[in-house]
Structure 1
Amino acid sequence: MEPGLGRLKYQVLVVDILRALKERYTYTELSRRLGVDKARLAKYVSGSVAPSPLKAVELWERIRGAFKPAMLVLEAAARYGGLLDLSPVLEDPAMLKIASLDLAERFQGAGVTKILAPEAGGIPLATAMSLIFNVGLVIARRSKENPLADYIEEHIVESPRVSRIFYIPRDSIKRGDRVLIVDDIVQTGFTLAVMRKLVERSGASLAGVAALVVVGDEWRERSGVSHVEAVVRVKKPG
């Protein structure tokens, strides 16, 4: 089946992923894992030969099968005794590119025109996905960076002593935009609820939410969001 992102786009994305993988693996290892001749892989990585659009799609399926995004995320978490520290994924170009393309495919027909991410954990994944979709990236920040700029702000009270406030520049998301919210972890739903409100305040519509990890189901009712795609879904501890 031809991916909705377009075969031509996969030529660039797959070569980019192969180059990132080459920083971690030898051609011999990549050849064994992907079932592709070493000499052919070397030509792709060097840029002397480009995979055809059809071959690029086939290569992506081989990459996804050999370097399963869900396993990459679970292995990263396991490095710290199960603690959901996703920095090994977010800081590794190869893993980040594989995970972001895997998620982007799930929203290929959603008409995404803007990506919104809360600082700071979601920024690497959101940046990678904005490049895949070739759309603008808006970062919701916890403070107003420019005192002369006009901002939209939203907050949610987590407890009597704790509230979250996020700001985005006014007009950074426009009426009619289709916004994809991207974060590293969706767990309590508090941050997600604020992101949804910012989208609504901007007059835009929500295309969905993409995350590396979704924990439990507590977030559903609190966030008011139904369409959330994740590389990994895990049960809430305890």
Structure 2
Amino acid sequence: MTTGTETVVRTDQRAGTEPDPPGMTRITLRPIASPMPLGFFAVAISSAVTSSLQLGLIDGAHRQAVALTVFSAFVLQLLVSVLAFGARDVIAATLMGGFAGAWLANGLVTATGAPGGAQVLGVLNLVFTVFAALMASVARPKKVLWLLLLIAVPRYFTAGLHGVSGAAWLGHLTGALGMLLAAVAMYAAYALMLEELRGREALWIGRSGPVRDAMHEGLAGQLDRLEHQAGVRRTL
């Protein structure tokens, strides 16, 4: 379950004291659970299907069927992104939204067989590599997510080179990295689900720094610099 904050601003002019943020803050419970296991499972399943095609486990003649199958990843990860924004996790929300857009573009181009699709997707994947690298640079406190991105970067880089050059061995390498990405995403989803069920870390997730503090510190620490956060400050 995720918590939202509602801040009531008032000043005691008679006492001349500064407002007490914990005392002025009411916690409103939102009826949502963490959407991240769903997001990771969507990454795992779709990566496994597309990697099977790249490795030759699925016949190349069935590319359109694969594209239509993984279209569900776009829907699911878009939903996860929206829920993560509502839960004030901008890193998870941005990452899942980026993955959703990539799945949609790949699915539409592959399913329609658009002319020049391989080269265009190659460029898209190369740009997505930069996006994944930038996300990895800020996701390190979330170790399991950081590990996922460390695999996603070379996976999308080789996919981009494969699309631009057409080299078959790059397609096979992309498929192998995609399978590894699917395995890590599946582990992350399962670890987060166990944590939700047991109320504690059951499998290694590797939180550190402010991410770890957010799981263990009290209300006063959670409200630190609250007035500067998105949704509370006057402008984004």
**Structure richer in strand, relative to its length:** 1
**Structure richer in helix, relative to its length:** 2
Which structure carries more relative contact order (alpha carbon 8 Å, separation 6+)?
2
> What TM-score comes out, normalization by structure 2 length?
0.25
> What TM-score comes out, normalization by structure 1 length?
0.24
